[in-house]
Amino acid sequence: MKAGRKVTYWIAALVLISVTFWFVYFYKSGESSEQEKVVPVEVELVSTGSIEETIEVTGWIKADKIVDVTSKVPGRIESLQVILDSGDTVAVEEGLAVTKGRQIAVIDHDTYLAQVEAAKADLQAREVELADAEREKKRMIRLFEGGSATEQSKDKAVTTAELAAARLNLSRANLELAKINLRESTIVAPIDGIVTAKHIDQGNLINAGERIVTIADMKTVKAIVAVAERYGEEIDVGTPARIKVDAFGDRVFDAEVYSVYPALDEQTHTIQVEIRMNNDELLLKPGMFARVTLVVQRKDDVVIIPRDVVLGGRIDEPYVYVVEDGIARKRFVKLGIKQADVYEIADGLKQGEKLVVNGMNYLIDGIKVEVVKLEEIGVGSPR
Protein backbone atom coordinates (compact mmCIF):
# COMPACT_ATOMS: atom_id res chain seq x y z
CA MET A 1 0.00 0.00 0.00
CA LYS A 2 2.81 2.31 0.94
CA ALA A 3 4.73 1.37 -2.21
CA GLY A 4 1.68 2.29 -4.35
CA ARG A 5 1.42 5.72 -2.74
CA LYS A 6 5.09 6.38 -3.40
CA VAL A 7 4.65 5.51 -7.07
CA THR A 8 1.66 7.85 -7.27
CA TYR A 9 3.64 10.67 -5.67
CA TRP A 10 6.55 10.19 -8.08
CA ILE A 11 4.20 10.21 -11.07
CA ALA A 12 2.56 13.42 -9.86
CA ALA A 13 5.93 15.04 -9.33
CA LEU A 14 7.06 14.10 -12.84
CA VAL A 15 3.85 15.57 -14.32
CA LEU A 16 4.33 18.80 -12.37
CA ILE A 17 7.94 19.09 -13.53
CA SER A 18 6.92 18.46 -17.16
CA VAL A 19 4.15 21.08 -17.05
CA THR A 20 6.49 23.62 -15.50
CA PHE A 21 9.16 22.91 -18.12
CA TRP A 22 6.79 23.29 -21.05
CA PHE A 23 5.21 26.46 -19.53
CA VAL A 24 8.62 28.09 -19.14
CA TYR A 25 9.65 26.98 -22.60
CA PHE A 26 6.60 28.38 -24.37
CA TYR A 27 6.65 31.57 -22.26
CA LYS A 28 10.26 32.21 -23.24
CA SER A 29 9.45 31.45 -26.86
CA GLY A 30 6.51 33.87 -26.80
CA GLU A 31 8.61 36.54 -25.12
CA SER A 32 11.34 36.08 -27.66
CA SER A 33 8.76 36.35 -30.43
CA GLU A 34 7.35 39.58 -28.93
CA GLN A 35 10.83 41.08 -28.66
CA GLU A 36 11.46 40.30 -32.28
CA LYS A 37 8.24 42.03 -33.36
CA VAL A 38 8.93 45.05 -35.60
CA VAL A 39 6.39 47.92 -35.87
CA PRO A 40 6.30 50.07 -39.03
CA VAL A 41 6.33 53.81 -38.31
CA GLU A 42 6.70 57.09 -40.12
CA VAL A 43 9.14 59.62 -38.76
CA GLU A 44 10.05 63.25 -39.30
CA LEU A 45 13.14 65.11 -38.25
CA VAL A 46 12.46 67.49 -35.38
CA SER A 47 12.78 71.08 -36.62
CA THR A 48 12.48 74.59 -35.22
CA GLY A 49 10.30 77.49 -36.28
CA SER A 50 8.02 80.24 -35.06
CA ILE A 51 4.84 79.82 -33.06
CA GLU A 52 2.24 82.20 -31.68
CA GLU A 53 -0.26 82.14 -28.85
CA THR A 54 -3.39 83.83 -30.11
CA ILE A 55 -6.88 84.81 -29.01
CA GLU A 56 -9.71 84.71 -31.54
CA VAL A 57 -12.47 87.30 -31.11
CA THR A 58 -14.99 89.09 -33.30
CA GLY A 59 -16.26 92.64 -33.66
CA TRP A 60 -17.42 95.32 -36.10
CA ILE A 61 -15.40 97.75 -38.16
CA LYS A 62 -15.98 101.38 -37.16
CA ALA A 63 -14.64 104.67 -38.47
CA ASP A 64 -12.02 106.33 -36.29
CA LYS A 65 -14.00 109.59 -36.23
CA ILE A 66 -17.64 110.22 -37.10
CA VAL A 67 -18.93 113.81 -37.13
CA ASP A 68 -22.50 114.99 -37.60
CA VAL A 69 -22.25 118.33 -39.40
CA THR A 70 -25.04 120.57 -38.13
CA SER A 71 -26.20 124.10 -38.92
CA LYS A 72 -25.54 126.73 -36.25
CA VAL A 73 -27.93 129.18 -37.91
CA PRO A 74 -31.45 128.77 -39.30
CA GLY A 75 -32.46 129.44 -42.88
CA ARG A 76 -32.88 128.00 -46.33
CA ILE A 77 -30.11 125.82 -47.76
CA GLU A 78 -29.06 127.72 -50.87
CA SER A 79 -26.27 125.36 -51.84
CA LEU A 80 -25.31 121.82 -50.94
CA GLN A 81 -22.23 121.50 -53.11
CA VAL A 82 -18.48 121.19 -52.80
CA ILE A 83 -16.37 123.71 -54.72
CA LEU A 84 -13.27 122.00 -56.11
CA ASP A 85 -9.87 123.64 -56.59
CA SER A 86 -10.63 123.83 -60.30
CA GLY A 87 -13.72 125.93 -59.55
CA ASP A 88 -16.13 123.17 -60.53
CA THR A 89 -18.86 122.14 -58.14
CA VAL A 90 -19.89 118.64 -57.05
CA ALA A 91 -23.18 117.84 -55.35
CA VAL A 92 -22.84 116.54 -51.82
CA GLU A 93 -23.91 112.90 -51.80
CA GLU A 94 -23.07 109.76 -49.86
CA GLY A 95 -19.59 108.51 -50.74
CA LEU A 96 -18.16 111.94 -51.58
CA ALA A 97 -14.66 112.52 -50.19
CA VAL A 98 -14.18 115.90 -48.54
CA THR A 99 -11.24 117.64 -46.93
CA LYS A 100 -11.19 119.65 -43.74
CA GLY A 101 -12.21 123.29 -44.31
CA ARG A 102 -13.84 122.63 -47.68
CA GLN A 103 -17.22 124.35 -48.21
CA ILE A 104 -20.08 121.88 -48.36
CA ALA A 105 -23.20 124.04 -47.83
CA VAL A 106 -24.43 127.66 -47.78
CA ILE A 107 -27.49 128.84 -45.82
CA ASP A 108 -29.34 132.09 -46.72
CA HIS A 109 -26.06 133.80 -47.48
CA ASP A 110 -27.59 137.05 -48.75
CA THR A 111 -29.71 137.38 -45.61
CA TYR A 112 -26.70 137.17 -43.33
CA LEU A 113 -24.69 139.52 -45.54
CA ALA A 114 -27.52 142.07 -45.18
CA GLN A 115 -27.49 141.63 -41.43
CA VAL A 116 -23.79 142.44 -41.37
CA GLU A 117 -24.32 145.62 -43.40
CA ALA A 118 -27.18 146.68 -41.13
CA ALA A 119 -25.02 146.14 -38.08
CA LYS A 120 -22.23 148.21 -39.61
CA ALA A 121 -24.65 151.09 -40.33
CA ASP A 122 -26.00 150.97 -36.79
CA LEU A 123 -22.48 151.03 -35.43
CA GLN A 124 -21.65 154.13 -37.45
CA ALA A 125 -24.76 155.86 -36.15
CA ARG A 126 -23.83 154.97 -32.60
CA GLU A 127 -20.33 156.32 -33.11
CA VAL A 128 -21.79 159.68 -34.28
CA GLU A 129 -24.20 159.66 -31.35
CA LEU A 130 -21.38 159.06 -28.90
CA ALA A 131 -19.25 161.80 -30.43
CA ASP A 132 -22.11 164.33 -30.04
CA ALA A 133 -22.75 163.19 -26.49
CA GLU A 134 -19.07 163.53 -25.59
CA ARG A 135 -18.92 167.08 -26.97
CA GLU A 136 -22.07 168.05 -25.04
CA LYS A 137 -20.67 166.51 -21.88
CA LYS A 138 -17.44 168.49 -22.15
CA ARG A 139 -19.37 171.71 -22.86
CA MET A 140 -21.64 171.27 -19.84
CA ILE A 141 -18.69 170.51 -17.58
CA ARG A 142 -16.97 173.75 -18.65
CA LEU A 143 -20.17 175.75 -18.10
CA PHE A 144 -20.69 174.16 -14.71
CA GLU A 145 -17.14 174.92 -13.70
CA GLY A 146 -17.69 178.58 -14.86
CA GLY A 147 -20.90 178.86 -12.92
CA SER A 148 -23.13 179.11 -15.98
CA ALA A 149 -24.79 175.67 -15.71
CA THR A 150 -26.39 173.74 -12.97
CA GLU A 151 -25.01 170.51 -11.58
CA GLN A 152 -28.16 168.75 -12.79
CA SER A 153 -27.50 169.82 -16.37
CA LYS A 154 -23.91 168.63 -16.09
CA ASP A 155 -24.94 165.23 -14.68
CA LYS A 156 -27.54 164.78 -17.42
CA ALA A 157 -24.92 165.38 -20.11
CA VAL A 158 -22.53 162.92 -18.47
CA THR A 159 -25.28 160.27 -18.27
CA THR A 160 -26.24 160.82 -21.91
CA ALA A 161 -22.61 160.28 -22.97
CA GLU A 162 -22.37 157.09 -20.91
CA LEU A 163 -25.57 155.71 -22.46
CA ALA A 164 -24.26 156.56 -25.93
CA ALA A 165 -21.06 154.65 -25.15
CA ALA A 166 -23.08 151.63 -23.97
CA ARG A 167 -25.21 151.67 -27.12
CA LEU A 168 -22.03 151.83 -29.18
CA ASN A 169 -20.64 148.76 -27.43
CA LEU A 170 -23.92 146.94 -28.04
CA SER A 171 -23.72 147.85 -31.73
CA ARG A 172 -20.19 146.49 -31.90
CA ALA A 173 -21.36 143.23 -30.32
CA ASN A 174 -24.27 143.02 -32.77
CA LEU A 175 -21.88 143.52 -35.66
CA GLU A 176 -19.63 140.78 -34.36
CA LEU A 177 -22.61 138.46 -33.96
CA ALA A 178 -23.75 139.26 -37.50
CA LYS A 179 -20.28 138.43 -38.80
CA ILE A 180 -20.30 135.14 -36.88
CA ASN A 181 -23.71 134.22 -38.31
CA LEU A 182 -22.44 135.09 -41.78
CA ARG A 183 -19.44 132.81 -41.28
CA GLU A 184 -21.63 130.05 -39.87
CA SER A 185 -23.97 130.29 -42.84
CA THR A 186 -21.14 128.79 -44.87
CA ILE A 187 -20.78 125.19 -43.69
CA VAL A 188 -17.33 123.60 -44.06
CA ALA A 189 -16.12 120.06 -43.47
CA PRO A 190 -14.69 119.76 -39.92
CA ILE A 191 -12.50 116.75 -40.78
CA ASP A 192 -11.10 114.87 -43.75
CA GLY A 193 -13.41 112.02 -44.57
CA ILE A 194 -16.23 110.47 -46.54
CA VAL A 195 -19.84 111.62 -46.52
CA THR A 196 -21.65 108.60 -45.13
CA ALA A 197 -25.12 110.16 -44.86
CA LYS A 198 -26.96 113.21 -46.22
CA HIS A 199 -29.81 114.30 -43.95
CA ILE A 200 -31.37 117.16 -45.94
CA ASP A 201 -31.63 118.32 -49.54
CA GLN A 202 -30.74 121.64 -51.10
CA GLY A 203 -33.56 124.19 -50.96
CA ASN A 204 -35.08 123.00 -47.68
CA LEU A 205 -35.38 125.11 -44.55
CA ILE A 206 -33.18 124.10 -41.65
CA ASN A 207 -33.19 125.01 -37.98
CA ALA A 208 -30.15 125.65 -35.83
CA GLY A 209 -28.78 122.34 -34.55
CA GLU A 210 -30.23 120.15 -37.30
CA ARG A 211 -27.95 117.75 -39.16
CA ILE A 212 -26.87 118.36 -42.73
CA VAL A 213 -24.46 115.46 -43.40
CA THR A 214 -22.43 112.85 -41.51
CA ILE A 215 -18.71 112.61 -42.30
CA ALA A 216 -16.52 109.68 -41.28
CA ASP A 217 -12.74 109.56 -41.19
CA MET A 218 -12.04 106.12 -42.66
CA LYS A 219 -8.32 106.37 -43.33
CA THR A 220 -8.02 104.90 -39.88
CA VAL A 221 -10.62 102.39 -38.74
CA LYS A 222 -11.09 100.53 -35.49
CA ALA A 223 -12.73 97.45 -34.06
CA ILE A 224 -13.86 97.20 -30.45
CA VAL A 225 -13.89 93.59 -29.24
CA ALA A 226 -14.74 91.86 -25.97
CA VAL A 227 -11.97 89.68 -24.51
CA ALA A 228 -12.45 87.18 -21.69
CA GLU A 229 -11.31 88.39 -18.29
CA ARG A 230 -8.66 85.66 -17.95
CA TYR A 231 -6.69 87.18 -20.84
CA GLY A 232 -6.56 90.63 -19.27
CA GLU A 233 -2.90 90.49 -18.24
CA GLU A 234 -1.80 89.18 -21.64
CA ILE A 235 -3.14 92.10 -23.68
CA ASP A 236 -1.66 95.58 -23.66
CA VAL A 237 -1.38 98.63 -25.88
CA GLY A 238 0.64 97.68 -28.96
CA THR A 239 -0.33 93.99 -28.94
CA PRO A 240 -0.28 92.87 -32.61
CA ALA A 241 -3.57 91.94 -34.22
CA ARG A 242 -4.71 90.52 -37.54
CA ILE A 243 -8.13 91.22 -39.02
CA LYS A 244 -10.16 89.43 -41.67
CA VAL A 245 -13.48 90.48 -43.18
CA ASP A 246 -15.80 88.43 -45.37
CA ALA A 247 -15.52 90.87 -48.28
CA PHE A 248 -11.83 90.05 -48.79
CA GLY A 249 -11.71 86.35 -47.98
CA ASP A 250 -8.37 85.28 -46.53
CA ARG A 251 -6.71 88.67 -46.89
CA VAL A 252 -5.19 89.76 -43.58
CA PHE A 253 -5.12 93.37 -42.40
CA ASP A 254 -2.40 94.14 -39.85
CA ALA A 255 -3.41 96.15 -36.80
CA GLU A 256 -2.57 96.62 -33.14
CA VAL A 257 -4.27 97.26 -29.83
CA TYR A 258 -4.81 101.00 -29.35
CA SER A 259 -6.35 100.91 -25.88
CA VAL A 260 -7.58 98.50 -23.21
CA TYR A 261 -10.59 99.79 -21.30
CA PRO A 262 -9.87 99.99 -17.54
CA ALA A 263 -13.20 98.55 -16.34
CA LEU A 264 -14.84 95.19 -17.08
CA ASP A 265 -18.32 94.81 -18.43
CA GLU A 266 -20.46 93.93 -15.41
CA GLN A 267 -22.80 91.71 -17.41
CA THR A 268 -20.29 89.62 -19.37
CA HIS A 269 -17.12 90.09 -17.28
CA THR A 270 -15.19 90.84 -20.44
CA ILE A 271 -12.64 93.51 -21.23
CA GLN A 272 -13.27 95.96 -24.06
CA VAL A 273 -10.23 96.23 -26.35
CA GLU A 274 -9.95 98.85 -29.10
CA ILE A 275 -7.91 97.90 -32.16
CA ARG A 276 -6.91 100.38 -34.84
CA MET A 277 -5.43 99.98 -38.32
CA ASN A 278 -4.53 102.06 -41.34
CA ASN A 279 -7.12 102.06 -44.12
CA ASP A 280 -5.49 104.24 -46.77
CA GLU A 281 -7.08 102.19 -49.56
CA LEU A 282 -10.51 102.65 -47.91
CA LEU A 283 -11.19 98.93 -48.33
CA LEU A 284 -12.58 98.46 -44.83
CA LYS A 285 -16.02 99.96 -44.37
CA PRO A 286 -17.83 100.79 -41.14
CA GLY A 287 -20.28 98.02 -40.32
CA MET A 288 -18.18 95.16 -41.70
CA PHE A 289 -18.02 92.05 -39.49
CA ALA A 290 -14.42 91.49 -38.39
CA ARG A 291 -12.65 88.33 -37.25
CA VAL A 292 -9.79 89.44 -35.04
CA THR A 293 -6.70 87.46 -34.03
CA LEU A 294 -4.77 88.93 -31.11
CA VAL A 295 -1.15 87.75 -30.94
CA VAL A 296 -0.44 87.70 -27.21
CA GLN A 297 2.85 85.80 -27.46
CA ARG A 298 5.28 84.81 -30.20
CA LYS A 299 8.44 82.68 -30.09
CA ASP A 300 10.96 82.14 -32.86
CA ASP A 301 13.51 79.36 -33.39
CA VAL A 302 11.85 76.90 -31.00
CA VAL A 303 11.08 73.18 -31.39
CA ILE A 304 7.65 72.69 -32.96
CA ILE A 305 5.88 69.38 -33.55
CA PRO A 306 2.40 68.32 -34.74
CA ARG A 307 -0.17 68.31 -31.96
CA ASP A 308 -1.53 64.83 -32.73
CA VAL A 309 1.82 63.06 -32.15
CA VAL A 310 1.73 64.01 -28.47
CA LEU A 311 0.34 61.20 -26.29
CA GLY A 312 -0.71 61.20 -22.65
CA GLY A 313 -1.27 64.53 -20.99
CA ARG A 314 -4.51 63.73 -19.17
CA ILE A 315 -3.48 61.23 -16.51
CA ASP A 316 0.26 60.96 -17.04
CA GLU A 317 2.77 63.45 -18.43
CA PRO A 318 2.69 64.18 -22.17
CA TYR A 319 5.14 62.11 -24.18
CA VAL A 320 6.22 61.26 -27.72
CA TYR A 321 8.20 58.50 -29.37
CA VAL A 322 11.52 58.97 -31.09
CA VAL A 323 13.55 56.41 -33.01
CA GLU A 324 17.12 55.67 -31.92
CA ASP A 325 19.04 52.99 -33.81
CA GLY A 326 15.85 51.26 -34.89
CA ILE A 327 14.35 51.27 -31.39
CA ALA A 328 11.32 53.30 -30.26
CA ARG A 329 12.08 55.41 -27.20
CA LYS A 330 9.37 56.96 -25.07
CA ARG A 331 10.27 60.60 -24.39
CA PHE A 332 8.44 62.77 -21.87
CA VAL A 333 8.17 66.36 -23.04
CA LYS A 334 7.28 69.74 -21.61
CA LEU A 335 4.74 71.64 -23.68
CA GLY A 336 4.96 75.37 -24.36
CA ILE A 337 2.71 77.43 -26.64
CA LYS A 338 -0.20 75.57 -28.22
CA GLN A 339 -1.27 76.87 -31.62
CA ALA A 340 -3.98 75.14 -33.62
CA ASP A 341 -2.42 71.87 -34.83
CA VAL A 342 1.14 72.39 -33.53
CA TYR A 343 2.81 72.56 -30.12
CA GLU A 344 5.99 74.14 -28.89
CA ILE A 345 8.22 71.67 -27.03
CA ALA A 346 9.94 73.57 -24.25
CA ASP A 347 11.96 70.56 -23.10
CA GLY A 348 12.44 66.92 -24.04
CA LEU A 349 13.25 67.09 -27.77
CA LYS A 350 16.15 68.43 -29.80
CA GLN A 351 16.38 69.56 -33.38
CA GLY A 352 17.30 66.73 -35.75
CA GLU A 353 15.90 63.84 -33.68
CA LYS A 354 13.67 61.31 -35.42
CA LEU A 355 10.11 61.88 -34.20
CA VAL A 356 7.46 59.22 -34.82
CA VAL A 357 4.51 60.92 -36.52
CA ASN A 358 2.58 57.83 -37.62
CA GLY A 359 2.15 54.51 -35.87
CA MET A 360 3.03 55.74 -32.37
CA ASN A 361 -0.19 54.32 -30.90
CA TYR A 362 1.20 50.81 -31.45
CA LEU A 363 4.49 51.40 -29.69
CA ILE A 364 5.94 50.63 -26.29
CA ASP A 365 9.27 51.80 -25.00
CA GLY A 366 12.13 49.71 -26.40
CA ILE A 367 10.26 47.97 -29.21
CA LYS A 368 11.93 47.58 -32.59
CA VAL A 369 10.57 49.70 -35.40
CA GLU A 370 10.94 49.98 -39.13
CA VAL A 371 10.79 53.41 -40.72
CA VAL A 372 8.44 53.30 -43.70
CA LYS A 373 6.44 55.69 -45.82
CA LEU A 374 2.90 56.63 -44.87
CA GLU A 375 1.30 54.63 -47.67
CA GLU A 376 3.14 51.51 -46.52
CA ILE A 377 1.41 51.79 -43.14
CA GLY A 378 -1.96 51.95 -44.79
CA VAL A 379 -4.57 54.60 -45.49
CA GLY A 380 -6.56 55.49 -42.40
CA SER A 381 -3.93 54.30 -39.92
CA PRO A 382 -4.18 56.39 -36.76
CA ARG A 383 -1.39 58.71 -35.82
Please check whether residues 101 and 190 belong to one and the same domain.
Answer: yes
Check residue 376 and give its pLDDT: 39
Residue 227 has pLDDT above 50, yes or no: yes
Q: Which of the listed residues 299, 334, 351 is the one where a domain comes to its end?
A: 299
Please check whether residues 165 and 43 belong to one and the same domain.
Answer: no
Please check whether residues 131 and 173 belong to one and the same domain.
Answer: yes
> Does residue 133 belong to any structural domain of this protein?
yes
> Does residue 241 belong to any structural domain of this protein?
yes
Please check whether residues 156 and 263 belong to one and the same domain.
Answer: no
| Average pLDDT estimate for 175-189 | 95
| Average pLDDT estimate for 254-266 | 91
Please check whether residues 80 and 202 belong to one and the same domain.
Answer: yes
Q: For 296-338, what is each residue's pLDDT tens digit?
A: 989 999 999 999 999 987 778 999 999 999 999 999 999 999 8
Please check whether residues 327 and 363 belong to one and the same domain.
Answer: yes
Q: What is the mean pLDDT of the chain?
A: 86
| Average pLDDT estimate for 266-290 | 91
pLDDT, greater one: 22 or 214: 214
> Does residue 265 belong to any structural domain of this protein?
yes
> Does residue 18 belong to any structural domain of this protein?
no
Q: For 197-215, what is each residue's pLDDT tens digit?
A: 999 999 999 999 999 999 9
Please check whether residues 193 and 103 belong to one and the same domain.
Answer: yes
Q: For 114-159, what is each residue's pLDDT tens digit?
A: 999 999 999 999 999 999 999 999 999 998 888 888 989 989 999 9
Please check whether residues 178 and 83 belong to one and the same domain.
Answer: no
Please give the Cα distance from 379 to 287 (Å, whole number). 46
CA torsion angle for 340, 341, 347, 350 (degrees, to 10)? -140
Please check whether residues 77 and 199 belong to one and the same domain.
Answer: yes
Check residue 7 and give its pLDDT: 46
Please check whether residues 304 and 358 belong to one and the same domain.
Answer: yes
Q: Which of the listed residues 272, 299, 326 is the one where a domain comes to its end?
A: 299
The CATH code of the domain that includes 263 is 2.40.30.170
The CATH code of the domain that includes 196 is 2.40.50
> Does residue 272 belong to any structural domain of this protein?
yes
Please give the Cα distance from 239 to 110 (Å, whole number). 55
| Average pLDDT estimate for 99-107 | 93
Q: Are 143 and 188 in contact (CB under 8 A)?
A: no
Please give the Cα distance from 47 to 339 (Å, whole number). 16
The CATH code of the domain that includes 172 is 1.10.287
Please check whether residues 169 and 228 belong to one and the same domain.
Answer: no
Pairing type for strands 211-228 and 47-70 reads: antiparallel
Q: For 23-55, what is each residue's pLDDT tens digit?
A: 444 444 444 444 568 899 999 999 999 998 899
Q: Please give the model's pTM, rounded to 2 decimal places.
A: 0.65
| Average pLDDT estimate for 180-193 | 94
> Does residue 15 belong to any structural domain of this protein?
no
Please check whether residues 265 and 141 belong to one and the same domain.
Answer: no
Q: Are 318 and 311 in contact (CB under 8 A)?
A: yes
**Distances in whole angstroms, Cα of residue 35 to Cα of each of 31, 127, 251, 323, 369:** 6, 119, 54, 16, 11
> Does residue 3 belong to any structural domain of this protein?
no
Q: Which of the listed residues 235, 264, 299 is the one where a domain comes to its end?
A: 299
Cα dihedral sign, 100-103-108-110? positive
The identity of residue 245, as a single letter, is V
Give the residue numbers spanning the domain of 163: 110-184
> Does residue 343 belong to any structural domain of this protein?
yes
Q: Considering its fold, how many domains does the chain have in total?
A: 4
The CATH code of the domain that includes 356 is 2.40.420.20
